[in-house]
Structure 1
Amino acid sequence: MHASPPVTLTIAGSDCSAGAGLQADLKTFQYFSVFGLTAVTCVVAETPKVVRSVHAVPPAILQDQLRVLLEAFPIAAIKTGMLFSKAHIVAITEILEQYRGIPLVIDPVMIASTGDPLLEENAIAAYKERLFPLATVITPNLDEAEVLWGASARDEQTMERAAHELSARHGCAVLLKGGHLGGPVCADLLVENDLPTWFRSPRIDGAASHGTGCTLSAAIAANLALGGDLHDSIATSKRYLDRVLATSLSWENLSVLNQGTIHFH
């Protein structure tokens, strides 16, 4: 009989183009040989170039997914992606408060790479007050950090201040992703137990950015499930993301411009 692999759960939206969301998470889990479970928060009609519509799963159904999975499987790590609303965040925390021993990676998804909103404004307080206190690490990009911190962080010095303050405020580690800084190097900053660590990698020109945040946070969760500490899990995940970006795919018919208005249901 084969040994059972560690089990990793993603709580995220469904991206029908499979470049982000729970589909990207499952591909990442498969790469790291962990068994992936999914709790769906939203069904999103999108491609890397356009977000057409978002249909939210009722919070009660989301809770049912979480209960049945947490009761049935020995889940070793959890990550969250697109949570969409205050009601969904509250629904998740009501369940996860009972499972504080499981490592929790929170990617606070707010805006799609197309610029479309993926989070209702009143959900931000719920992130801060309810979910972040349960986190092992949160992984905001610079735009998300600006919303959470309340000020702009557009250089490495300010990134350090933002990451330290967010970590102290919420009682968890913070991986602040600096890809939006520009320049030839992508610099991400981990603050854990008030200690800063920089992770730097060359920027890969022409790489597709759709789903990179999902992929990185899923990789971190997978490596935590495998027993790695947070620092080593991030280092391994960054190397994996670099390989993904270096071999990213594109199709000509995806060059269609984003047209129309996003619809929420």
Structure 2
Amino acid sequence: MRIAQALTIAGSDNGGGAGIQADLKTFQELSVYGMTVITAIAAQNTTGVQGVFPISYEGIAQQLDSTGDDFKPNAVKTGMLYSTEIIQLVAEKWRHYEWSNLVIDPVMVAKGGAPLLQQQAIQTLITELIPHARITTPNIPEAELLTGMSIRNLSDREEAARRLVQMGSTYALIKGGHDTGGMIVDVFYDGRSFHYLENIRIVTPHTHGTGCTYSAAITAELAKGSSVLAAVTTARAFIQAAIEDELGIGAGHGPTNHFAYQRRQRGER
């Protein structure tokens, strides 16, 4: 039996709640073998980001080549790419190794407000990488930056999803966690019709790494051969469980619970 493999190209979070650490935990929980290419090292905890230290261009290129020369990932996700040069490099290696199932989580700003993508790199992400995406998964502030529009309601989210597909992403998911109200509505667009994933909003500060975890779960399910809508549906259940069954770690925005989904599947709480 061939084991499903997934690659994450992202930053490192020493606190373990986001970035490659969250991605690997999610891959493991969903029975997918995970690999990493580290783009930057963030010094951070639940109270904020104290520093961001990019890996050298040569270091990232060698990681990508080492992976591509030996492994065959069934799906690849990008997280924190940080700069124009890194985005261009990832796009180049993507084409060279002919990888598939690209999930773009356009990480731009940390929970505490620290920038994780240089301003000039946003346009490069749009022109160089999004056209290769199977699905792009921004939250509302990220979608506003990518599409150049204000998002105030459900109709705006639908329009933002359309624009992402027009940019070349095969599918788009606009996450609704930054909206207000008792329900969270994520808008999924397949290029023809919309699907709405609704969940009860959990009032908690422990949401660090939700975007990374959500997109990693999509990546894992795509690696196993799921349809995109099925992957998004499973990933939504995964992140809902991770938020509901909070760990309560740290003094600020604590991490989500990556154990929760599988424990629920086994009937444990």
TM surpasses 0.5:
yes
For 1:100 and 1:147, locate their aligned partners in 2 and report how far apart those are by CA, in whole Å: 28
> Contact 1:42/1:55 (CA < 8 Å) preserved in 2?
yes
Question: Equivalents in 2 of 1:96, 1:166: separation in Å?
Answer: 19
What does the per-residue CA deviation read over 1:107-131, in whole Å, with 9 as the maximum and x for residues that have no partner? 0000001111111111001101100
Q: TM-score, normalised by structure 1?
A: 0.92
**Residue identity opposite 1:25 in structure 2:** D
Which 4+ stretches in 1 moved above 4 angstroms?
Answer: none
Answer whether contact 2:76 2:99 (CA < 8 A) is retained.
no
Alpha-carbon spacing, 1:211–1:171, altered in 2? closer, same or farther (3 Å)? closer
Describe the SS at the equivalent of 2:25: helix
Aligned residues: 253
CA contact (8 A) 1:207 1:248 kept: no
What's the counterpart of residue 82 of structure 1?
Answer: 80
Rounded Cα–Cα distance in structure 2 between residues aligned with 1:101 and 1:119: 24
Give the aligned residue type for 2:50: R
Q: Aligned-pair distance for 1:194?
A: 2.6
Shift of 1:250: 2.0
Counterpart Cα distance in 2 of 1:245 and 1:91? 34
C-alpha separation in 2, matches of 1:53 and 1:174: 31
Q: What displacement does 1:152 show?
A: 0.9
Range moving further from structure 2, 230-239 or 58-67? 58-67
Q: Hey, what does 1:50 align to over in structure 2?
A: 48
Native 8 Å contact 1:89 1:127 kept in 2 = yes
Single out whichever of 23-32 and 89-98 deviates more from structure 2: 89-98
Partner of 1:223 in structure 2?
221
Provide the C-alpha distance between the structure 2 equivalents of 1:185 and 1:141, rounded to a whole number of angstroms: 15
Return closer, same or farther for 1:98/1:200 CA change in 2, 3 Å cut-off.
Answer: same
> Would you say the 8 A contact 2:12–2:38 is kept in 1?
yes
Change beyond 3 A, Cα 1:211–1:255: closer
Aligned residues of 1:142 and 1:153 also touching (Cα < 8 A): yes
Structure 1 residues 192 and 255 mapped into 2: Cα distance closer, same or farther (>3 Å)?
closer
Unaligned runs of 5+ in 1: 257-265
Matched, 1:254 2:251: yes
Q: Distance in 2 between matches of 1:76 and 1:171?
A: 18
**Does residue 102 in structure 1 map to residue 107 in structure 2?**
no
- For 1:35, the equivalent position in structure 2 comes to 33
Cα RMSD of the aligned pairs, angstroms, is 1.4
Post-superposition Cα deviations, 1:182-231, rounded to whole Å, max 9, x if no partner, equal 11111101111232111111111215111000000000000000010000
Q: Is the 8 A contact 1:10 1:79 kept in 2?
A: yes
Counterpart selection for 1:7 from 2, 5, 8: 5
Q: Is the 8 A contact 2:8 2:36 kept in 1?
A: yes
Q: In structure 1, how many angstroms separate the alpha carbons of the residues matched to 2:45 and 2:195?
A: 34
* Residues in 1 aligned to 2:5 and 2:151: alpha-carbon distance in whole angstroms: 35
Letter in 2 for 1:201: N
Retained in 1: the 8 A contact 2:162–2:191?
no
Q: Give secondary structure in 2 for the equivalent of 1:179.
A: coil
> Residue 209 of structure 1: SS of its match in structure 2?
coil
- In structure 2, stretches of 5+ residues that fail to align are 254-269
1:239 aligns with 2:231: no
Partner of 1:189: 187
Sort the Cα spacing of 1:128 and 1:207 in 2 relative to 1 into closer, same or farther, 3 A. same
Cα distance in 2 for partners of 1:11, 1:169 equals: 21
Match of 2:156 in 1: 158
**In structure 2, what is the equivalent of residue 72 of structure 1?**
70
CA contact (8 A) 1:8 1:36 kept: yes
CA–CA separation in structure 2 for the residues paired with 1:78 and 1:107 = 11
2:139 aligns with 141
| Residue aligned with 1:105, SS | strand
Distance 2:228 2:123 in 1: 26
Deviations 1:141-164 (A, max 9, x none): 000011111111121011111111
